[in-house]
Structure 1
Amino acid sequence: MINLEQIHQARENISDIVKMTPMMTSNMISANARNQLFLKCEHLQKTGSFKIRGATNKVKDAAARLNPNSIIAASSGNHGQAVAYIANQLDIPSTIVVPEDASVNKLKAIKAYHGNVEFCGTTSEERIKRAKEICEVEKGTYIPPYDDPLIMAGQGTVGLEIIEQVKDIDEVYVPIGGGGLISGVLTAIKETKPSIRVIGAEPAIANDTYLSLNKGERVNIGGTTTIADGLRTSIPGELTFPVIQRYVDDIVLVEEEAIKEAFSMVLTRMKQVIEASAAVSVAAALRSTPNGKRMVALVSGGNIDNNVIQSLL
């Protein structure tokens, strides 16, 4: 398992690339939540999501130790953008394996960062398998989307920021895909301030981590059609799942309509454009028991296609 020291090391390692994102509040949204709700705005992060944190930590390490010929990643979009960005910054060629239904905006961004794009299947398992095949042929370095200590530690740096930016936090809501983000945030928060409850948020039709926790082992749910395209992972990571088992306080499942409602609320009340995946944590926070709590919803990204926005309103 990763530890707090690794997260602090990651923070130092990525400080020249990653910025501290702001906290935002809305009186109207807090009134709807019947608690004080803060949004941790990773949609305003470089490359438009939290993924740049872990990608920078991992790619920098690979560049320093391995001097790779190329960098390869498998991604539904945000991880790919982040890897392509940092690889380009370090002048290393990159190839990103994406699903056949990948977001148009995310594809454009990968290409803008000079990343090569290859399409493969619709599940994370298909993408990861293909990325590793390319890696062997090119003798490159594979950058996992979540199941890697350096990735997890990089994502955990957002947890350190949350603790610093908001005092007297009661609960933090974190969206769950493969588990890289929540495992890092859990480690950062629980090993710094264990009294804070950290609650995972999953789409009800992409509930692999929820089912895995109930069963006590990783469960593969296959493909999913949730509108939260960044959370379409079919099974929790081998390394991320034990951290979630150890530290998570609860997991809240949210229906597709609740995700749309949260997206619309953030857009209309706060004038912030976020991804459906990022709206999952907001939707979960809005379901919290009302008793004047101070809560943070981690808004994971904002790379959404323009033509998708209307369908979410």
Structure 2
Amino acid sequence: MTEFAITLEDVQDAQKTLAGVARMTAMEGSRHLSSLVGAPVQLKCENLQRTGSFKLRGAYVRIAGLDPEERAAGVVAASAGNHAQGVALAASLLGVRSTVFMPVGAPLPKIAATRDYGAEVRLHGQVVDETLRAAREHAEETGAVFIHPFDHPHVVAGQGTVGLEVLEQCPEVRTIVVGVGGGGLAAGIAVAVKTLRPDVRVIGVQAEGAAAYPPSLVAGRPVALDSVSTMADGIKVGRPGDVPFKIIGALVDEVRTVSEDALSSALLLCLERAKLVVEPAGASPVAALLSDPEAFPGPVVAVLSGGNVDPLLMQRVLRHGMAAAGRYLSLRLRLSDRPGALATLLSVLSRAQANVLDVGHMRTDARLKVTEAEVEVHLETEGADHCSSVVMALREAGYTVL
């Protein structure tokens, strides 16, 4: 036994429980990331897990551990997506009735998937905190068992099975990088890995706008953030869980933070280079590698925790990622309001090898002179240096770039 809520034996028992339920997901090498880090980098593809994320593991182990009376009462959960789908499928596989509360603004594909997996979906609240309260009230009123997304020993043990698979698939690993929201996945991996291989570094990654762990670790207790803001909704958690916090504080070597630009660039890299659809939270370990590649002794395993990304968010994130990588450039310019002026501008852009995606042309505005027009152009470019050369070409041609 250890001082923690779970042991290696708990994780190994969870692995037996999950046999035939959760897949041993693939490990894919990344040449591009390996060249940046200077050592082999493998991607642990939990985005290819059933329901599209690691969440099935913990949800199934938790529900499987209920006694017959608890199962008869049903289960209830609150989630904006991945945990909702994990609970819905796990409950269906175990023959347990499930109710899942989701925010009113949850992406339609995630709502539909949760229903398809067998849950009754109830939309309540604008943010997850309001949804969480509604789920707890439902549990008190009906006797249904509340399934927490990360703050329960059985859930943490289930998520820890990812760590056992990493050691089996990549026994030479020296660093494991994993996204951190409430902390269940990182805590489970840390217990499994550090017990068997204390030499392996486990690094957690949080979004800068939802980084509750760094101040909490300094304080020595879970500290709630006043607000959270990040595109990575899978790790958008304002307070660490009590169960995982103690484990992470003792066993995880470091918790890093990454910017929104790094997250979007990581998502774009996974799509373009690895041919993998990964949500922003799932791409957070890749964002950490991109941000500071020399900080991770290799071989490195980056855990891609999920791939359930809303298509509309994907569109916005890819555009943001292209801009961060210098692949997308938006400009406003002043030019003479005369016939052929727009065609001349486009010819300059063509010579500069910039691909025009969209053009907006405004001729009437109080800021403009009678003889002026303003044009907004959105361009596809080849990188930061190309962006600079495009701007220089426009200025050399006499245009005012705003």
For the aligned pair, the TM-score class normalised by the smaller chain equals: over 0.9
Residue of structure 1 in register with 2:94 after alignment: 90
CA distance in 2, matches of 1:241, 1:291: 23
Deviation (angstroms), 1:138: 1.8
Structure 2 SS opposite 1:121:
coil
Residue of structure 2 in register with 1:242 after alignment: 246
CA distance in 1, matches of 2:206, 2:296: 23
**Given that residues 42 and 298 in structure 1 are in contact (C-alpha distance below 8 angstroms), is that contact kept between their aligned partners in structure 2?**
yes
Give 1 or 2 for the bigger CA radius of gyration.
2
Say whether 1:307 aligns with 2:312: yes
- Of structures 1 and 2, the one with the larger relative CO (CA 8 A, separation 6+) is 1
Say whether 1:108 aligns with 2:93: no
TM score, norm. by length of structure 1: 0.95
Say whether 1:4 aligns with 2:12: no
Residues 190-214 of structure 1: CA deviation (Å, up to 9, x unaligned)? 1110100000000011100122112
**Given that residues 162 and 189 in structure 2 are in contact (C-alpha distance below 8 angstroms), is that contact kept between their aligned partners in structure 1?**
yes
Matched residues, number: 313
Residues 85-129 of structure 1: CA deviation (Å, up to 9, x unaligned)? 111222322111123332322111101112122233355443332
Residue of structure 1 in register with 2:298 after alignment: 293
Structure 2 SS opposite 1:73:
strand
Residues 4-26 of structure 1: CA deviation (Å, up to 9, x unaligned)? 00000000011121110010012
**Given that residues 213 and 240 in structure 2 are in contact (C-alpha distance below 8 angstroms), is that contact kept between their aligned partners in structure 1?**
yes
CA distance in 1, matches of 2:63, 2:10: 16
Residue of structure 1 in register with 2:162 after alignment: 158
TM score, norm. by length of structure 2: 0.75
**Given that residues 289 and 296 in structure 2 are in contact (C-alpha distance below 8 angstroms), is that contact kept between their aligned partners in structure 1?**
no
Say whether 1:73 aligns with 2:97: no
Deviation (angstroms), 1:311: 1.3
Residue of structure 2 in register with 1:190 after alignment: 194
CA distance in 1, matches of 2:298, 2:309: 30
CA distance in 2, matches of 1:99, 1:210: 27
CA distance in 2, matches of 1:91, 1:291: 44
Residue of structure 2 in register with 1:145 after alignment: 149
User: Quick one: structure 1 residues 216 and 124, their matched pair in 2 at CA, closer, same or farther if it must change by over 3 Å?
Assistant: farther
Structure 1 SS opposite 2:300:
strand
Q: Over aligned residues, Cα RMSD in angstroms?
A: 1.6
CA distance in 1, matches of 2:6, 2:296: 34
Residue of structure 2 in register with 1:170 after alignment: 174
Residues 175-229 of structure 1: CA deviation (Å, up to 9, x unaligned)? 0011111110010101110100000000011100122112222111144220001
User: Quick one: structure 1 residues 291 and 209, their matched pair in 2 at CA, closer, same or farther if it must change by over 3 Å?
Assistant: closer
Deviation (angstroms), 1:236: 0.2
Residue of structure 2 in register with 1:61 after alignment: 65
Alignment gaps of 5+ in structure 1? none
Residues 17-57 of structure 1: CA deviation (Å, up to 9, x unaligned)? 11100100121232233332110000000111000000110
User: Quick one: structure 1 residues 65 and 16, their matched pair in 2 at CA, closer, same or farther if it must change by over 3 Å?
Assistant: farther
Residue of structure 2 in register with 1:252 after alignment: 256
Structure 2 SS opposite 1:68:
helix
CA distance in 1, matches of 2:103, 2:225: 17
CA distance in 2, matches of 1:305, 1:200: 24
Structure 2 SS opposite 1:285:
helix
**Given that residues 183 and 241 in structure 2 are in contact (C-alpha distance below 8 angstroms), is that contact kept between their aligned partners in structure 1?**
yes
Percent identity reads: 36
Using the TM superposition, name which of 219-228 and 15-24 deviates more.
219-228
CA distance in 2, matches of 1:135, 1:24: 41
Structure 2 SS opposite 1:100:
coil
**Given that residues 34 and 290 in structure 1 are in contact (C-alpha distance below 8 angstroms), is that contact kept between their aligned partners in structure 2?**
no
Q: Structure 2 counterpart of 1:197, which letter? A: R
Say whether 1:262 aligns with 2:263: no
**Given that residues 204 and 255 in structure 2 are in contact (C-alpha distance below 8 angstroms), is that contact kept between their aligned partners in structure 1?**
yes
Alignment gaps of 5+ in structure 2? 319-402
Q: Structure 1 counterpart of 2:27, which letter? A: M
CA distance in 1, matches of 2:68, 2:43: 35
Structure 2 SS opposite 1:172:
strand
Residue of structure 2 in register with 1:43 after alignment: 47
**Given that residues 123 and 222 in structure 1 are in contact (C-alpha distance below 8 angstroms), is that contact kept between their aligned partners in structure 2?**
no
Q: Structure 1 counterpart of 2:71, which letter? A: N
CA distance in 1, matches of 2:297, 2:8: 30
**Given that residues 36 and 292 in structure 1 are in contact (C-alpha distance below 8 angstroms), is that contact kept between their aligned partners in structure 2?**
no
Say whether 1:212 aligns with 2:216: yes
